[in-house]
A and B are shown apart, each in its own frame.
Chain A
Amino acid sequence: DVKVTQSSRYLVKRTGEKVFLECVQDMDHENMFWYRQDPGLGLRLIYFSYDVKMKEKGDIPEGYSVSREKKERFSLILESASTNQTSMYLCASRTSGAGRSYEQYFGPGTRLTVT
């Protein structure tokens, strides 16, 4: 089975701190994604990476950056955390060989609170 793991289930950080959220997948998937999920807004795509060192902005990239140095690992970085970045963060991966099907595998999520 595909496994997508995230470094923390719960995280509390202070305003202005630099925050790293890590995601690792074990199925050699080319594509990886970072979403945030907020009540009433659903899941929104922050960034995704279609291969090592390749990235593309999603719908809400402001205030975030990403890093993908190895195929299995995709990191989301909050350069200076703010209270409006308090949210559930979800990582996902997908093989690029899935054709026009778009099956993504999600991690369990990291609930980040910025105080």
Chain B
Amino acid sequence: DAKTTQPNSMESNEEEPVHLPCNHSTISGTDYIHWYRQLPSQGPEYVIHGLTSNVNNRMASLAIAEDRKSSTLILHRATLRDAAVYYCILRDVTQGGSEKLVFGKGTKLTVNP
């Protein structure tokens, strides 16, 4: 399985930026980097994805290292509603040759008021 490494937990204060790191040193040249988050008592939700260039959307920004072995999810102004587990995910391939996502343990983000 493709592997990612994330800190188990991080803390932030409300209204401050948050940088969530992810290492993926075994990434292949064609793998997209995906980020999902899971709010308490909900299913995961898609946040952002990217391949090589930095990406921005209404939820977050994704900064990808030049060698693609690491990436950082940036929440520009954390709110209490951003408290969640954030997953950095690479695509993988099943035994049957189909694609799948592999969810690790993620980073639990706590946002302090």
Q: Do B103 and A58 have beta carbons less than 8 Å apart?
A: no
Q: Do B91 and A100 have beta carbons less than 8 Å apart?
A: yes
Q: Do B96 and A56 have beta carbons less than 8 Å apart?
A: yes
Question: For the complex, would chain B's binding face be called helix, strand, loop or mixed by DSSP majority?
Answer: loop
Q: Do B100 and A92 have beta carbons less than 8 Å apart?
A: no
Fill in one digit per residue for A80-113: 1 if any B CB lies within 8 Å of its CB, else 0.
0000000000101000000011111111110000
Inter-chain contacts of A45 with B (CB < 8 A): 94, 100-101
The number of chain A residues with a CB under 8 A from chain B is 25
Q: Do B94 and A104 have beta carbons less than 8 Å apart?
A: no
In the bound complex, how far is the Cα of B93 from the Cα of A56, in angstroms?
Answer: 12
Q: Do B49 and A58 have beta carbons less than 8 Å apart?
A: no
Seen from chain B, the residues whose Cβ lies within 8 Å of a Cβ on chain A are 30, 32, 34, 36, 41-46, 49, 51, 87, 89, 91, 94-96, 98-101, 103-106
Seen from chain A, the residues whose Cβ lies within 8 Å of a Cβ on chain B are 4, 33, 35, 40, 42-45, 48, 50, 56-58, 90, 92, 100-109
19 CB < 8 A contacts A-B: A35-B103, A42-B103, A43-B44, A43-B103, A45-B100, A50-B98, A56-B96, A56-B98, A92-B44, A100-B91, A102-B32, A102-B99, A103-B46, A104-B44, A104-B101, A105-B46, A106-B43, A108-B43, A109-B42
